[in-house]
Amino acid sequence: MRWLVRVVVVLALLVVVALASLLLLPGERIARVALDQIEVQTGRKVTLSGEVQLSYYPILGARTGAVEIANADWSDNGPLLRAEALKIGVDLAALIAGDIKITGLEVLSPTVLMERHADGRANWEIGVDGVSASGQGTPAQTSDNALALSLDRALVNDGQLRYLDHATGSDLTISDLSLDLSWPVYRGAAGFALTARPAGMQVISVSGDIADLAALIEGGVTNLNATAELSGATAAFDGVLGVPAQAQGSIALKTEDTSATLAALGVNGVVLPRGVGRQVTLAGNVTLTQAMQLSLRDMVLQLDQNRINGALDVDLAQTRPFVTARLQGGPLDLTGLADGTGSGDDKSAASSDGWSKAAIDASALGLVNADLTLKAPSIALPNLSFQALDLRAGIDRSRAVVTLNALQGYGGNFAGQVVANNRNGLSVGGDLSVSGVEMQSLLGDLVGVTRFTGAADARLSYLGVGQSVHQIMNSLSGEGAINMGRGTIEGVDLDSLMRQGLATGGTTVFDRLSASFTMKDGDLNNPDLLLELPLITARGEGRVGLGKRDIDYLFTPQLGSLEDQGGLAIPVRIKGPWSSPKVWPDLERAVDLNLQEEKKKAEAKAKAKLEDKVKKELGITQEEGQSLEDAAKQKLEDEILKGLGGLFK
């Protein structure tokens, strides 16, 4: 706010000049003298409405009418500053001694317009103390008559600040702006308390101490200790601040209720799971350069029970800030994700037979570009736990890619990529693989099933498009496969069940399990499920509706070999919605599978009986190696020749 302080100081000085001239000038000339001097100092036209009211006792002071300072000549959005009135009080004894000591300065209901031209010019860069007007040309050296005064107390009440940036299209309004400033010595410390309400947010309060306010006004650097508060959240800075924007020092941030803080910032309805940051503390050393390069070193971030250390760099000079982070976490506990992140009832949420149709807002992917790495010795998710996490996440123009460089768990390794792309509508995809994963511990943690043992390899690639979970699940495409070697199924002995009809528990030992699948339009099709036991083979084929949440699948256990051992196959049909599928034996298919030999024998017997009857009725003699068809043809030829021969007798 360097420029605003300069303008206020100029106003104060010139009103003081007017007061000092009371004994020498007629009252009607005082306002004109002040107005002329402001215009000389700022290079902007100043309009003063109404009369100047003067007071002599107990404080020498004045109250002006409405004041306006004109905007830059390239703007047509109204004045730079407009205020209903200025109230100024001075120390008469100090004034007589030749010092300017302002005991009180109050600006009533100011409206300030900060505006940046598309070519980079700024309307607040005015000709005060060597600053070139409107940012043009090379700043001159600081004048010999630099402003030198003191303020016992300065007040700004009920102000409004609007920031317009024609290059980026930004239009930000801050209302309820108030400032209480104590600056008793010009080349000394100043204390301040500021409150403001940015558009769509609750009131933010900032208070602190500036070691040398004059140095800051004149474009130098000085020490700053400041604390900001918003809805129970606090942020503190202790270091060096300079103009143009530059800073270096330590920061500390803390939220007691992050959801409430986000709501105060205008982001409503966010309910964070435990472990993601219901409560947040952040500490580190921050540096901001004039080139708008922000860095955070020695960072310690606490998200509830999770602690993360590292370093962060942000390039704020780009149109879309670029964030680079190198993070190292302790054991990460994200089991709180199971608590959900919803903000209440959602009529579009998934029911028992459908996915949520609520719109997914993925606009956050377009806020920044990023390159992030995170390593941790372990990570716990709802019902799952892993070790040796090493991931890299990149965001480039609304497209995020998370790469698993390493992730271990359940005796195996996980790898792959997950992508979310919101450049032209939302799409999600991935290419994942696992190797050597022990299914008993994985399925036990995931779905509570511990009867299935064995190591598995699997792969999955998928792509879904849509603005809701419903659309994405109904558009899924891709492929995958799973393969297992020797393993067991505890609690059931399929061999005894199939061969003897005894459901006596026990353990099924299988030699192999494999399956592949393809996905299209939200349907998963598996043609080749195979489960091999020493004496039993089970096959499966069918469709699983990932989008429609239904299933139509045929599972066929088979005892021995139907061709060689007269084995028995019992197909089981599974069909219906996931919530209540129907399961029944497919008798028609069972007949086709189990009575093939009987059908062949019956067909052969019927054919032999028919042939005997034909030979008897037609008197056909079938020679060895001759088919009945050939014998019938021969018989017919013989009879025809006999008939033709009789015509010539």
Q: Which residues pair with 235 in a beta bridge?
A: 228, 253
pLDDT tens profile 548-596: 999 999 888 776 654 444 456 677 788 888 888 887 766 555 555 555 5
Which amino acid appears at position 609 of this protein? Answer: K
Same domain, 564 and 637: no
**Would you say residue 229 lies in a domain?**
no
Same domain, 508 and 471: yes
Kindly report which listed range (69-78, 92-101, 372-381, 611-620) carries the lowest average pLDDT score: 611-620
**Would you say residue 413 lies in a domain?**
no
Confidence of residue 328 (pLDDT cuts 50, 70, 90): very high
The mean per-residue pLDDT over the stretch 240-249 comes to 90
Highest average pLDDT, of 118-132, 204-218, 296-310, 584-598, comes from: 296-310
**Would you say residue 604 lies in a domain?**
no
Same domain, 547 and 623: no
Same domain, 627 and 558: no
* pTM as predicted: 0.70
Same domain, 527 and 617: no
**Would you say residue 241 lies in a domain?**
no
- pLDDT, residue 581, reads 82
- pLDDT, residue 106, reads 84
Same domain, 440 and 554: yes
- pLDDT, residue 288, reads 94
- Residues 143 and 152: beta-carbon distance below 8 Å: no
Residues 307, 401: Cα–Cα separation, whole Å: 24
- Verify cis geometry, omega within 30 degrees of 0, for the bond prior to 26: no
Same domain, 494 and 583: yes
Kindly report which listed range (4-13, 29-38, 172-181, 425-434) carries the lowest average pLDDT score: 29-38
Closest CA to 165 of 113, 125, 116: 116
* pLDDT above 90 as % of the chain: 38
Q: DSSP letter for 599, please.
A: H
Number of domains in the chain: 3
Burial class (CB in 10 A: 0-12, 13-18, 19+), 62: buried
The domain in which residue 465 lies consists of 425-596
Give the residue, 193 or 350, on which the prediction is more confident: 193
Same domain, 20 and 166: yes
SS3 per residue for 222-271: EEEEEEEEECCEEEEEEEEEECCCEEEEEEEEEECCHHHHHHHCCCCCCC
Residues 615, 632: Cα–Cα separation, whole Å: 8
Same domain, 583 and 628: no
- pLDDT, residue 400, reads 95
**Would you say residue 571 lies in a domain?**
yes
Same domain, 537 and 589: yes
- pLDDT, residue 12, reads 60
pLDDT tens profile 402-411: 999 999 999 9
Indicate if the alpha-carbon torsion angle 251, 255, 256, 261 is positive or negative: positive
Phi then psi for 23, rounded to 5 degrees?
Answer: -75, -15
Same domain, 523 and 574: yes
Number of H helices, E strands in the chain: 12, 36
Q: DSSP letter for 425, please.
A: B
